[in-house]
Amino acid sequence: MKHVYFFSRGQTDGDRDMRDLLGGKGANLAEMSRLGVPVPPGFTVTTEVCRHHLLTHHLPDGVEEQVSEAIRRLERLTEKQFGGADDPLLVSVRSGGAVSMPGMMDTVLNLGLNDQTVEALARISGNECFAYDSYRRFLQMYSDVVLEVGHRSFEAILSDVKRQAGVETDNELEADALRSVVRRYKELIETESDSPFPEKPEDQLWGAIEAVFRSWRTPRAQAYRKTYRIPHDLGTAVNVQTMVYGNRGTDSATGVAFTRNAATGEPKLFGEFLINAQGEDVVAGIRDPLAIDQMQEVMPDAYSELLETARRLETHYREMEDLEFTIEKGTLYLLQTRSGKRTARAAVRIAVDMANEGLISREEAVLRVEPDRLDEVLHSMVDPSVDFRPLAVGNPASPGAASGRIVFTAKEAVEEAAGGDPVILVRTETSPDDFEGMVAAVAIVTSRGGKSSHAAVVARGMGKCCVVGTKDLEIDEAAGEVRADGKIVRRGDWITVDGASGEVIEGRIPTVKPEPGEDFHTLMGWADEFRKLRVRTNADNPADAATAREFGAQGIGLCRTEHMFFGEERIDAVREMILADDKAGRAAALAKLLPMQRSDFAGIFRAMDGLPVTIRLLDPPLHEFLPAEADEVRRLAEGLGRSVDEIEGAVARLHEANPMLGHRGCRLGYSHPEITAMQARAIIEAALEVAAEGVDVLPEIMVPLVGHLDELDNQRAIVDGTARDVFAEQDRKIDYLVGTMIELPRACLTAGEIAERAEFFSFGTNDLTQTTLGLSRDDAGNFLPLYVEAGVYASDPFQSLDTVGVGRLMRLAVHEGREKRPDLKVGICGEHGGDPPSVVFCHSLGMEYVSCSPFRVPVARLAAAHAALKETASAESESS
């Protein structure tokens, strides 16, 4: 069996498609060798050998022979000898799995050096400093990663010698000084590891190879794989490669480069290099590296070769590449290439530029940008050039970054924000009561709750930065302080929050707000050409509606009317309505709300001129509108001319053990038909009003939480009756639709029946997930993360649709609904509407649209394009 794959110009076994077997580094070293790019020759021991070794602690048969044979081949090719006393062959040993993984074994350079070969190297190169510099580097790396001894003490010895020699940097040391470094290193190794340093190159080589295999299992590598969901059984390959030397003097160097700017995407070589240095010196920050442009002056020939090579690699890979290179005595060598990591902005620009350059197609360009990353393009973030240590890190719930003064309650937020300085609301958790405070704050931080907690959902809806479940933040509202990381910050102190990273930082850290540029709009335009799904937004005020429209929303998929009930003057009327003793009292309170709702709807209709607007009738349980705190109860009692006892009694009567499954949704309209009638009237009157102004208005009235056809019938009769009355009163008409949310399993199971009376379905997948899985998302925090970690659910089902369970009900509902009513409009308006994998699923069900919060609209547009393009691609590959 073949365990070892050779690479050198003209004799290369592997290629770029063999990542799984050779690892990414090995596959690309092979590919570059095939291309004729200057790569020092070497060989790759496969990931299969590693897997075998991990299971059995032995090497499979034949590996040792194949490695020896490959070493012989390198000797012939380079005309050097491994361990040779005349002209020694030195190699590097480098790990590299199929998926790139920092945290694995570090590289060992200059392997093959010992007390004899170092002298040969000095002689051959005529440069003793270089030989001993290479040797001390080898001793240090080998001890660190193979013998696992001495890390700190090596640094101490080196500093000591530098101090004695009176120099600042490593490469100012003279040969004698370096010799003494080497001697002291070896003494240290011998004491610490209880055996002398292995002098035989073969022993060194096998020591290093097995260390690479072992490094697959280190806690840090395991932790990394867990975080990024990399399977634990892949194993790593080992690359053994002839050394080239960037530390041979001032005509030698080592560096890293991106073929385009990784931060901005500008099509220009970008990177750094260091003269007379080796390996990771550039990254390690030992000396200040030079910008790659400066190479043009100091090494013009190598520079133009690097430019030329970068261009070749980019054209070959059709990707922005991240290169590692070394220059030995003016000659360029490539040591690594891989696709380069980049900011979201750069990703967008590079995709668009490459399509315009003809390097890739527009379809590929669209597929090159991960939809989720558009968040970074659209929101502010903490200035990446600033160093800080966060007070605490929570769950990043809604992206964006902001600085503000700490407040602890919604009331404080409103009051303090009026003073002019921005405020950040810091609370254990938020409730609907806090809504106005959340509006007033620039950011929201909670110490409890997950990404689908109240704070997270509401903040995302507002496009406001939010971090939730920041467990290390001890919030002491009474003392007016927050404790974390051994520090105390107080009410009124400044903090900065980054909702994309989850960081909560003391003080005011500068933030940067990227303007989505022309490239962004170009890419989104292409995405729009390819997608089939329409994208609507969830919005309940004209400002959000307008923002969403700018982001490309094609209508409103969910306008939650209850959010309009929380405004300062309104809440009193709402409470009066809830607490009324009889129908007449209720009617009086509703009459106060009618004009307010009408003007809300009119504003939204105007903002959405020409586009459909789905308005949901009142949904939440009534007690959510009632006061919880004593002074609020007192104020309400005074306002209504009632006793505190009466109010408390009413609050207690409305209390529910399980409000999520309680008196809410269409059940409210069923028991209080006048609420539905008021809302229907407000919608129809507003529509007539704006239609008279020339606005093209398309209202869709949506009945929530229907489980039984009769519920829809009942509500529909009220809506249609009210509409008829209003049309008669005004002697005018407009078209409107009545449909329903599909958010209960029973609605899915009887979708055929329901479709007879519903003109549209909109999946409310938050409730549908709760009711299908039988778990309340507010209470799932203690066990759901465990399930996700264990892989019971592939991801949080409130974030990404559980396509197997919930998705099956949806499929059934779409199928049976369309069977009864072929022109049934189907969409989704839960949080999932902005989640890329869920969007892909909605596409596969053939829905008309997805609806999501305004800032997610571009994400959903791109995700919808991905869904359509990937479907086409897989259909093509099946038919061919």
What residues numbered 306-325 form the site for Mg ion, per CB under 5 A? 324
User: Which position among 829, 832, 852, 866 bears the catalytic label?
Assistant: 829
Strand ranges across the sheet with 270-275:
290-291, 270-275, 253-258, 321-328, 331-339
399 interface partner picked from ligand ADP, Mg ion, none, CB below 5 to 8 A per type: none
User: Which residue is at the shortest CB distance from Mg ion?
Assistant: 767
Q: Taking Cα atoms as reference points, which of 544, 401, 510 lies closest to residue 466?
A: 401
Q: Does 324 bind ligand ADP (CB under 6 A)?
A: yes
Nearest-approach distance from CB 63 to ligand ADP, in angstroms: 20
Residue with smaller CB distance to ligand ADP, 279 or 627: 279
CA dihedral 835, 836, 841, 843 (to 10 degrees): 110
Nearest-approach distance from CB 6 to ligand ADP, in angstroms: 15
Q: Does 281 bind Mg ion (CB under 5 A)?
A: no
Q: Does 764 bind Mg ion (CB under 5 A)?
A: yes
416 interface partner picked from Mg ion, ligand ADP, none, CB below 5 to 8 A per type: none
764 interface partner picked from Mg ion, ligand ADP, none, CB below 5 to 8 A per type: Mg ion
Q: Are 253 and 326 in contact (CB under 8 A)?
A: yes
Q: Are 597 and 402 in contact (CB under 8 A)?
A: no
Q: Does 259 bind ligand ADP (CB under 6 A)?
A: no
Q: Does 26 bind ligand ADP (CB under 6 A)?
A: no
Neighbouring residues of 797: CB distance < 8 A, sequence distance ≥ 6: 769, 773, 784, 806
Residue with smaller CB distance to ligand ADP, 280 or 871: 280
- Which one of the spans 56-64, 189-197, 235-243, 723-731 is the region binding ligand ADP (CB under 6 A)? 235-243
Binding-residue pattern over the window 691 to 730 for Mg ion, x denoting contact by CB under 5 A: ----------------------------------------
Under rule CB under 6 A, how many of the chain's residues touch ligand ADP? 16
**For residue 110, with 0-12 CB atoms within 10 Å meaning exposed, 13-18 middle and 19 or more buried, which class applies?**
buried
46 interface partner picked from Mg ion, ligand ADP, none, CB below 5 to 8 A per type: none
DSSP 699-742: EEEEE-S--SHHHHHHHHHHHHHHHHHHHHHHT-----EEEEEE
- Which one of the spans 239-247, 553-561, 664-672, 728-736 is the region binding ligand ADP (CB under 6 A)? 239-247
Q: Does 608 bind ligand ADP (CB under 6 A)?
A: no
Give buried/exposed letters for 782-821 (b at 16+ CB in 10 A, else e).
Answer: eebeeeeeeeebeebbbbbbbbebbbebbbebbebbbeeb
Nearest-approach distance from CB 648 to Mg ion, in angstroms: 29
Tokens 């009618």 sit on residue: 594
Q: Give catalytic status of residue 843 as yes or no.
A: no
Strand ranges across the sheet with 474-476:
474-476, 481-484, 487-490
The residue from 109, 113, 173, 545 that contacts ligand ADP (CB under 6 A) is 109
Q: How many Cβ atoms are within 10 Å of 305's Cβ, its own excluded?
A: 17
3-state secondary structure at position 603: helix
Nearest-approach distance from CB 477 to Mg ion, in angstroms: 31
What residues numbered 40-79 form the site for ligand ADP, per CB under 6 A? 40
235 interface partner picked from Mg ion, ligand ADP, none, CB below 5 to 8 A per type: none
What residues numbered 336-375 form the site for Mg ion, per CB under 5 A? 336
The residue from 33, 66, 261, 326 that contacts ligand ADP (CB under 6 A) is 326
Binding-residue pattern over the window 178 to 217 for Mg ion, x denoting contact by CB under 5 A: ----------------------------------------
The residue from 412, 433, 711, 767 that contacts Mg ion (CB under 5 A) is 767
Residue with smaller CB distance to Mg ion, 157 or 705: 705
DSSP 441-465: -SEEEESS--TTSHHHHHHHHHT-E
What residues numbered 707-736 form the site for ligand ADP, per CB under 6 A? none
Q: Does 107 bind ligand ADP (CB under 6 A)?
A: yes
Q: Give catalytic status of residue 454 as yes or no.
A: yes
107 interface partner picked from ligand ADP, Mg ion, none, CB below 5 to 8 A per type: ligand ADP
DSSP 8-state code for residue 145: I
Q: Cα 23–220–56 angle (5° rounding)?
A: 60
* Torsions phi, psi for 391 (to 5 deg): -65, -40
Instruction: Tell me how far CA of residue 40 lies from CA of 43, 128, 223, 451, in angstroms.
Output: 10, 23, 33, 49
254 interface partner picked from Mg ion, ligand ADP, none, CB below 5 to 8 A per type: ligand ADP
The residue from 8, 47, 66, 92 that contacts ligand ADP (CB under 6 A) is 92
Q: Are 397 and 535 in contact (CB under 8 A)?
A: no
Rounded Cα–Cα distance for residues 680 and 716 (Å):
10
Neighbouring residues of 874: CB distance < 8 A, sequence distance ≥ 6: none
Nearest-approach distance from CB 115 to ligand ADP, in angstroms: 22
3-state secondary structure at position 792: coil
Q: How many Cβ atoms are within 10 Å of 227's Cβ, its own excluded?
A: 9
767 interface partner picked from Mg ion, ligand ADP, none, CB below 5 to 8 A per type: Mg ion
Instruction: Tell me how far CA of residue 651 lies from CA of 431, 566, 633, in angstroms.
Output: 16, 17, 10
Instruction: Tell me how far CA of residue 96 lies from CA of 99, 136, 523, in angstroms.
Output: 8, 24, 34
The residue from 13, 119, 280, 370 that contacts ligand ADP (CB under 6 A) is 280
Nearest-approach distance from CB 104 to ligand ADP, in angstroms: 7
Nearest-approach distance from CB 873 to ligand ADP, in angstroms: 32
Q: Does 243 bind ligand ADP (CB under 6 A)?
A: yes
User: Which position among 53, 454, 623, 866 bears the catalytic label?
Assistant: 454
Q: Are 764 and 736 in contact (CB under 8 A)?
A: no
DSSP 8-state code for residue 536: E
**For residue 28, with 0-12 CB atoms within 10 Å meaning exposed, 13-18 middle and 19 or more buried, which class applies?**
buried
Residue with smaller CB distance to ligand ADP, 278 or 772: 278
DSSP 8-state code for residue 169: S
Binding-residue pattern over the window 723 to 762 for Mg ion, x denoting contact by CB under 5 A: --------------------x-------------------
Rounded Cα–Cα distance for residues 779 and 818 (Å):
35
Q: Does 279 bind ligand ADP (CB under 6 A)?
A: yes
Nearest-approach distance from CB 430 to Mg ion, in angstroms: 18
Residue with smaller CB distance to Mg ion, 63 or 141: 141
Nearest-approach distance from CB 847 to Mg ion, in angstroms: 17
Neighbouring residues of 184: CB distance < 8 A, sequence distance ≥ 6: 157, 161
Q: Does 540 bind Mg ion (CB under 5 A)?
A: no
Nearest-approach distance from CB 92 to ligand ADP, in angstroms: 3
CA 654, 572, 463, 485 torsion: positive or negative? negative
Q: Does 321 bind ligand ADP (CB under 6 A)?
A: no
3-state secondary structure at position 185: helix
Under rule CB under 5 A, how many of the chain's residues touch Mg ion? 5
Residue with smaller CB distance to Mg ion, 324 or 576: 324
| Residues forming the site for Mg ion (CB under 5 A) | 324, 336, 743, 764, 767
Residues that bind ligand ADP (CB under 6 A): 40, 92, 94, 107, 109, 241-244, 254, 279-280, 324, 326, 335-336
Residues with catalytic function: 454, 829
